[in-house]
Amino acid sequence: MPESSRKAIVTCRGVTKTYKLGAIEVPALNGVDLDLLEGDFATLAGPSGSGKSTLLNLIGGLDQATTGEVSVGGQVLKGLSRSKMTELRLHRIGFVFQAYNLIPVLSALENIELILQLRGVGQNERRDRAMEALADVGLQGMEDRRPSNLSGGQQQRVAVARALIGRPSIVLADEPTANLDSHTAEDLIDLMYTLNQQSGVTFLIGTHDARVIAHAKRRIEMTDGRIVSDDREEQAHAA
Amino acid sequence: MQTITLLFPLAWRNLWRNPRRTIITLVVVAAGLYSILVFAAIMTAWAKSSRDTTLDLITGSGQIHAVGYLADPSIDHTMAPPDTVLTRALNHPEISAWAERVMVPAVVQSEYRTLPLTLAGIDPAKEKRLSILPKDMAEGSYLSSSDGYDIVLGRHFAERLKTRVGKRVIILATATDGSLSEQSYTVVGLFGGNQQVEDAYAFVGKQSAQKMLGLGDAISEIAFKLVDDSTRATVIADLRSAAPRLDIEPWTKLSPLAAAMDQFMTGFVYVWLWVMFVFMAIGIVNTQLMAVFERSREFGLLQALGMRPRHILMQVVIESGLMVGVGVLIGFVASILTVLAFAGGIDLGFLAQGAEYFGAGRVLYPDLSPLQFIELSLTVWALGIVVGLWPAQRATRARAADAIRQSN
């Protein structure tokens, strides 16, 4: 799809974020402007402390910008109540975290179903969709396994399935391969890319991992709380 | 509904993430409720035994007197035997027995000593249905007629008087004309049971007492016993309307110590409930707070995924509810089994004197109505859920961003 015909899923305008550590103010973002388009498979790279995670948190509605405006799917996040923000995350945003963050007392299938259950989807539809999502990430037959009985790579695949099950506008992934060995990391990157291609869901991946960056169609680089480069490839990557 | 079907299994599984901690809390709750229910059953039994022991001796469920008798229980305040209207009222189906008595202050003289007491002129047949004393004879026999010159003394009183069965004693009392009347009686029996009563009363035939005192057919009191004490107010009201000129009082007024003891026992059950509940609450809050602190990252994650704070609150409250609920269930079943095991009575023979001091019988029958069992259990459960609100509220404070940051 040509860039001009794709609509913006996320818009950041003049976004700053300052943390207070006692009397000291630490700037994490210094005026970020960004548009993420429908279907983007973008990486957010940069050294530690460059503001990647902060930006992901602001786009994910997990934190509030000090100044500037963030909107997701046309919804401006500033001023949203805690409850509305939760609602927005439930319906518009999927998360994949470095530490997988599955609920330990739920099975793989139940972890995926959780999102649909929170949305009030009926049991049969929920089960069918979750089974399908589990198959999409290559974990058929592992429905009943608890996270403690899955490898790191398998857990992260469950997390990806959980992020996508609700058909969100965007999936935000913060260092998703950091805890994985290189082979598993490659598999995961391929999986996320394939799902991006199949579903058209926008991915924004905060990462240091060169392999992930190599797969990206769009590479955003941050330094000192600013976006210093934003390269787009219109061609699909060569897997 | 969807949320509930999500939260219940989630809450239940979370409880068993740290089985040892959950089991300790369950044991605290179960043991606490067990002690409350078993203690309540024993205290209720004690209160009932104490009340019945006191009332079944002399007082009955209530008494009827001439106005002024209670303030001055002398020969000057007698009354006529019950008329037709009062007799009909006394034959109320809720009154199991009633008896007329002559009750006057008197002095008993043996060869060795002279001691004061209350002389009770009774109808032996009627008295046997009203009082346990005729059945609790320590020695000799009870009175057989209303007009003979036999007397029954308390065992301890007889010891003090230095007399015994078969000996004669002289009764001295003020007659209706103000003169000092006296009559010789033969000791035919000694009753036991309660030292206070043993020292306070001597029983003779009603007609012989009336004759000695020149009372004609006048009496001092009518005592009555109810089938069920809960009907007390209604029956007293009926009697009062049947005999508006007489003083009709329930046992609670006639025996204020027994009434106070009854109230004290009931109140003590609730004091115990609160003491035990404070211990339980500490256990519940401690467990849940630890669980909440340990899982703050998870609560943040759930919020990040789209779970509303109120659902997180509900989840932790459900966890408390389930934990306390299981503890309550265990305590409930264990206490019912214990009470059933002692349904035949707990023999307090080994502390007979102490039990008597508190007015209780020798055997206690643990007693608590099913409604009270359920009410106390539900109270503990509800209170457990209420104290669980604090940790639950803490859980909702987890910030998604902080939780995610901690995990990376």
**Residue B358 banded pLDDT, cuts 50, 70, 90:** low
Residue A169 contacts B, CB cutoff 8 Å: no
Name A76's bridge partners: A71
* B3: closest chain A residue by CA: A118
Confidence of residue A235 (pLDDT cuts 50, 70, 90): very low
The DSSP letter of residue B34 is H
C-alpha A103/C-alpha B13 separation (Å) is 11
Q: Show residues of chain A in contact with B302, CB under 8 Å.
A: 103
CB neighbour class for A227 (10 Å; exposed up to 12, middle 13-18, buried from 19): buried
- pLDDT greater than 60 at residue B353: no
List, for residues B63-114, the tens digit of each pLDDT value. 999 999 999 998 999 999 999 999 999 999 999 999 999 999 999 999 999 9
DSSP summary character for residue A236: P
Tokens read off for A179: 């805890």
Whether chain B has a CB inside 8 Å of the CB on A115: the answer is yes
Angle at B175 between CA B171 and CA B176, to 5 degrees: 160
**Cα(A77)–Cα(A237) distance, integer angstroms:** 33
* Host H or E run for residue A75: strand A75-76
| Six token digits for residue B35 | 């002690």
Side-chain half-sphere exposure of B31, counting CA atoms within 13 A: 10
Question: How many C-beta atoms surround the C-beta of residue B368 within 10 A?
Answer: 22
Give me the mean pLDDT over the B344-361 stretch: 63
Residue B146 DSSP class: S
**What is the structure's pLDDT at A236?**
44
Contact A63 B10 (CB under 8 A): no
Q: Is the pLDDT of residue A4 over 70?
A: no
Buried b (16+ CB within 10 A) or exposed e, B342-356: beeeeebeeeeeebb
Closest alpha carbon within chain B to A60: B304
- Write out the E strands in B112-220: 114-122, 137-140, 150-154, 168-174, 180-191, 201-205
Where is pLDDT greater, at B368 or B225? B225
Phi and psi angles of residue A138, each rounded to the nearest 5 degrees, phi first: 75, 30
Tens digit of each residue's pLDDT (9 = 90 or more) over B301-322 = 898 899 988 889 999 999 989 9
The rounded distance, in Å, linking the Cα atoms of B150 and B76 is: 25
Q: Mean pLDDT score of chain A, rounded to an integer?
A: 90
Say if pTM beats, i.e. exceeds, 0.80: no
Q: Which of B5, B29, B19 is nearest to B385 (CA)?
A: B29
A105 touches chain B (CB under 8 A): yes
**Mean pLDDT, residues A21-40 taken together:** 92
pLDDT digits (tens, 9 = 90+) for A104-144: 999 999 999 999 999 989 989 999 999 999 998 889 999 99
Q: Between A25 and B51, name the one with better pLDDT.
A: A25
pLDDT at position B139 over 90: yes
Q: Which residues in chain B are contacts of A90 at CB distance < 8 A? A: 305-307
Inter-chain CB proximity B407 and A105 less than 8 Å = no
Distance CA A7, CA A116 (A): 26
**What would the mean pLDDT of A223-239 be, rounded to a whole number?**
75
Of residues B241, B239, B260, the one with CA closest to residue B249: B239
Is residue A1 pLDDT above 60, yes or no?
no
Task: Tell me the two tokens of residue A48.
Answer: 């530690």
Q: In chain A, what percentage of residues exceed pLDDT 70? A: 96
Average pLDDT over residues A76-104: 91
Task: Choose the closest CB to B407 out of A99, A119, A120.
Answer: A99
CA of A167 to nearest chain B CA: how many angstroms apart? 13
Element (H, E) at A135: helix A123-136
On whether the CB atoms of residues B319 and B385 are closer than 8 A, the answer is no
Return the minimum-mean-pLDDT range out of B52-56, B103-107, B125-129, B334-338. Answer: B52-56
Q: Are strands A8-21 and A93-96 parallel, antiparallel or unpaired?
A: unpaired
Q: Which two tokens stand for residue A118?
A: 């929170």
User: Quick one: pLDDT at residue B300?
Assistant: 87
- pLDDT of B173-201, one tens digit each? 999 999 999 999 999 999 986 788 889 99
Q: Are the CB atoms for B142 and B128 separated by under 8 Å?
A: yes
Question: What ipTM does this complex have?
Answer: 0.86
Sign of CA pseudo-dihedral B211, B215, B216, B220: negative
